[in-house]
Amino acid sequence: MPERLVDSFGRVHNNLRISVTDRCNIRCFYCMPAENVQFMQRAQLLSFEEIERFVKLAVPLGVDKIRLTGGEPLVRRDLPSLIERLAAIPQIRDIGITTNGILLAEHAQAMWDAGLRRINVSLDALDPVKFQEITRREGYEQVLEGIQEAQRVGFDPVKVNAVSIRGMTESEIVPFGKFARETGAEIRFIEFMPLDADNAWEREKVLYSQEIIDVLSQEIAPLKPLPTQDPTAPATDFEFADGIGRIGFIGSVSQPFCQSCNRFRLTADGKIRNCLFSLEETDIKSMLRGEASDDKIREAVRESIRGKWEGHEINTARFLQPDRPMYSIGG
Report how far residue 234's alpha carbon sits from residue 257's, in angstroms, rounded to the nearest whole number. 6
Query: What pLDDT shows up at residue 320?
Result: 61
Query: What pLDDT shows up at residue 205?
Result: 86
What topology is assigned to 15-329 in CATH?
Answer: TIM Barrel (3.20.20)
pLDDT tens for each residue of the chain, 331 residues long: 679 999 999 999 999 999 999 999 999 888 887 777 888 999 999 999 999 999 999 999 999 999 999 999 999 999 999 999 999 999 999 999 999 999 999 999 999 999 999 999 999 999 999 999 999 999 999 999 999 999 999 999 999 999 999 999 999 999 999 999 999 999 999 998 765 556 665 778 889 999 999 999 999 999 999 987 777 788 899 999 999 999 999 987 777 778 889 999 999 999 999 988 787 899 999 999 998 999 999 999 999 999 998 866 565 555 566 566 667 777 6
Q: What is the DSSP annotation of 85-135?
A: HHHTSTT--EEEEEE-STTHHHHHHHHHHHT--EEEEE---SSHHHHHHHH
Nearest to 87 by CA among 107, 68, 115: 115
Torsion sign over Cα 189, 104, 43, 302: positive
Nearest to 216 by CA among 244, 174, 181: 174
Query: What pLDDT shows up at residue 194?
Result: 60
Question: Domain spans of the chain?
Answer: 15-329
- Whether the CB-CB separation of 49 and 98 falls below 8 Å is answered with no
Torsion sign over Cα 91, 330, 101, 261: positive
Listed in sequence order, the residues at least 6 apart from 173 whose beta carbon sits closer than 8 Å to its beta carbon are 164, 189, 212, 215, 216, 219
Query: What pLDDT shows up at residue 323?
Result: 66
Report how far residue 235's alpha carbon sits from residue 260's, in angstroms, rounded to the nearest whole number. 11
Query: What pLDDT shows up at residue 312?
Result: 65
How would you label 48-79 residue by residue, b for 16+ Cβ within 10 Å and e otherwise?
Answer: bebbbebbbbbbebbbbbbbbbbbbbbbbeeb
Query: What pLDDT shows up at residue 32?
Result: 81
Query: What pLDDT shows up at residue 322?
Result: 59
Report how far residue 177's alpha carbon sits from residue 320's, in angstroms, rounded to the nearest whole number. 34
Query: What pLDDT shows up at residue 142?
Result: 98
How would you label 118-135 residue by residue, b for 16+ Cβ within 10 Å and e otherwise?
Answer: bbbbbbbbbeeebbeebb
- Helices assigned H by DSSP within the chain: 48-58, 79-87, 104-114, 128-135, 140-153, 173-183, 209-219, 285-289, 294-306, 326-329
Report how far residue 137's alpha carbon sits from residue 122's, in angstroms, rounded to the nearest whole number. 14
Report how far residue 23's alpha carbon sits from residue 240's, in angstroms, rounded to the nearest whole number. 37
- Whether the CB-CB separation of 315 and 256 falls below 8 Å is answered with yes
